[in-house]
Chain A
Amino acid sequence: LAKTTQPISMDSYEGQEVNITCSHNNIATNDYITWYQQFPSQGPRFIIQGYKTKVTNEVASLFIPADRKSSTLSLPRVSLSDTAVYYCLVRPPGTYKYIFGTGTRLKVLA
């Protein structure tokens, strides 16, 4: 059974880089690891996904070690509008159901 763990909350100041790690055991070897952002009263929104090593897009980077037992979302130079809950999403092997991480509440301070 896939199990994911994230820090419950993090505080940061505007302009800093924030790294949020998700630990996940027993995930499908042939699938991406995905991260979402959620604001209050809204559905989660896709941020980034990766399979291994490092992936970067216009809003974030994702680091995945070779053993794929964890992944780290990196948000460069956060702003107040990045205050949200961040979730990783993984898939256990042999199934197409998905498991969300426990979620990390990020608060960006001025």
Chain B
Amino acid sequence: EAQVTQNPRYLITVTGKKLTVTCSQNMNHEYMSWYRQDPGLGLRQIYYSMNVEVTDKGDVPEGYKVSRKEKRNFPLILESPSPNQTSLYFCASSSRQTTYNEQFFGPGTRLTVL
């Protein structure tokens, strides 16, 4: 089954404790992206990747890191999480064949930073 998976689905952590949210897709998509969703602010792109070893900032990259060492994986790293990073995070992927617009989303990761 074609899908985007994220882990963990729920995470409660404390300020400053490094964490990684994993994202994996099995559709051989070139484009992968991370979004955060907050009430009143909608969905905002954090980082995106056009292909392996190619990443770039979205609209809200501060406090986050990403890497794309393999085509299928695109982990989101919070080196020193802060309470303002409490949010619902979505990973997405898409193919160059659809001009990247048709993005497939994962189920989301709900992060709480205390």
- Tell whether, in the assembled complex, residue B101 and residue A42 are in contact, meaning their CB atoms are under 8 Å apart: no
Q: Is the CB of A31 within 8 A of B101?
A: yes
Cα of A48 to Cα of B92 in the assembled complex, Å: 17
Q: Contact check, A96 vs B42: say whether CB atoms are below 8 A apart.
A: no
B48 in contact with A34 (CB, 8 Å): no
The CA of A49 and the CA of B59, in the complex, are separated in Å by: 22
Tell me whether B42 and A97 are in contact (CB under 8 A): no
Contact residues in A for B4 (Cβ distance below 8 Å)? 43
A81 within 8 A of B: no
CB within 8 Å of A: which B23-40 residues: 31, 33, 35
**Inter-chain contact A41/B59, CB cutoff 8 Å:** no
- Cβ of B66 within 8 Å of any chain A Cβ, yes or no, is no
Asked whether A43 lies within 8 Å of B105 as measured between CB atoms, the reply is: yes
Q: Is A96 a contact partner of B48 (Cβ separation < 8 A)?
A: yes
- Contact of B74 with A by CB under 8 A: no
Contact of B42 with A87 in the complex, beta carbons under 8 Å: yes
Interface residue SS majority, chain A: loop
B contacts with A: majority SS:
strand
Interface size for A (C-beta < 8 A) is 22
Contact A99 B45 (CB under 8 A): yes
B50 on the interface (CB 8 Å rule)?
Answer: yes
What 1/0 mask marks residues of chain B from 86 to 104 whose CB sits below 8 Å from any chain A CB?
Answer: 0000101000001111111
The answer to whether A97 and B101 touch across the interface, beta carbons within 8 angstroms, is: no
Which residue of the partner chain, among B45, B90, B104, contacts A98 with CB atoms under 8 Å?
Answer: B45
Contact B92 A43 (CB under 8 A): yes
**Chain B residues, Cβ within 8 Å of A103:** 42-43
Report, nearest first, the 8 A-B pairs whose CB atoms are least far apart. Answer: A43-B105, A100-B43, A34-B101, A32-B101, A97-B58, A46-B102, A43-B90, A103-B42
> Can you give 22 contacting A-B residue pairs, CB < 8 Å?
A31-B99, A32-B101, A34-B102, A41-B108, A43-B90, A43-B105, A43-B107, A44-B43, A44-B105, A46-B102, A49-B98, A49-B101, A91-B101, A95-B56, A96-B31, A97-B45, A98-B48, A99-B45, A99-B59, A100-B42, A102-B42, A103-B43
Interface residues of A (CB under 8 A from B): 31-32, 34, 41-46, 49, 87, 89, 91, 95-103
